[in-house]
Amino acid sequence: MPRIVVIGGGDVGAVSLRQLLRASAAGRLDTDEIVVVDRDAGCAAWRDAQARRGAGAPRVRVELSDWDAWLDRHLGASRADDHLVPYHWGPHLLVSWLAREVERAGGHVSHAGPLPPGPWPFQSTTAAGDRALSYATWLCPPLCIEPALWPHTRGPRDWSLAADLDRPPAGFDAAIVLRSLHLVWGIGTIRTGDVLAARDLLVAGLQRGRRRYLVSTSSHCHALAATLDVRPAQA
């Protein structure tokens, strides 16, 4: 059965864990282990899990670690059908992990310049230089499932940021989209297999010399996008 990894055990992670346990109890989620990655052994997610322990519930384990360090130790050996629950207010962890993996494989990674403007209503640059993008001009509910019929507009959701970002802009060799999509009961996840495939694509690209990538973590409505210049270290 797939393992679910929740990044962050604070209040946001506690809500994610609570929903996952509820979904499991209702027979909507098939997993035997949920891992919460946090530096605090007594984090909110762990306290909530202790209060909700029951027969047949998935095992909940808190791994005490910095997020980047945990990803470096475990992500590369994860199963393709495992799922990550990202912390949406955190740094662009997966892009950083991909960059470190490329460097471990003998490559060099740097920012590839600004992302060209797109049609999205919200576009902003983060402190780390990524682009935060959104189709929403309203405050989204925290457990939104991004339905096909949109409650706010009362019309169809005829957009998908993940699909937009799948098309590389002019001057880029490829686009990589790590899709964070609804799994169950309002919780969006990223398939570990998608992250590992992205790593393999970037590492294989070193054989072709210098290349530019648009790498995004994206749902249908919200995204973080980064541009990467990847080349062999000796180039």
Tens-digit pLDDT profile for residues 170-199:
999 999 999 999 999 999 999 999 999 999
50 and 120, same domain (yes or no): no
Q: Show the domain range for 203.
A: 92-232
24 and 109, same domain (yes or no): no
Query: What was the pLDDT predicted at 200?
Result: 98
Q: 121-127 — which CB contacts under 8 Å span 24+ positions?
A: 126/92, 126/224
pLDDT above 70: residue 54 = no
Specify if 86 maps to a domain: no
Distance in angstroms (rounded) separating the CA atoms of residues 81 and 33: 13
Specify if 84 maps to a domain: no
What's the rounded mean pLDDT across residues 130-142?
A: 90
111 and 27, same domain (yes or no): no
Query: What was the pLDDT predicted at 198?
Result: 99
Query: What was the pLDDT predicted at 52?
Result: 72
Strands 211-218 and 33-38 come out as: unpaired
126 and 225, same domain (yes or no): yes
> Are 216 and 175 within 8 A, CB to CB?
yes
Number of independent structural domains in the chain: 2
212 and 128, same domain (yes or no): yes
Which has the minimum average pLDDT: 12-26, 50-64, 200-214? 50-64
Grouping H, G, I as helix, E, B as strand and the rest as coil, residue 220 is coil
pLDDT above 70: residue 55 = no
**In sequence order, what are the residues at sequence separation of 6 or more whose Cβ sits closer than 8 angstroms to the Cβ of residue 80?**
191, 192, 193, 196
The model's pTM: 0.94
Specify if 214 maps to a domain: yes
Distance in angstroms (rounded) separating the CA atoms of residues 105 and 152: 46
Specify if 77 maps to a domain: no
98 and 57, same domain (yes or no): no
Question: Could you identify the residue written with the tokens 């047949």?
Answer: 56
The two three-digit tokens of residue 90, written as one number: 């955190």
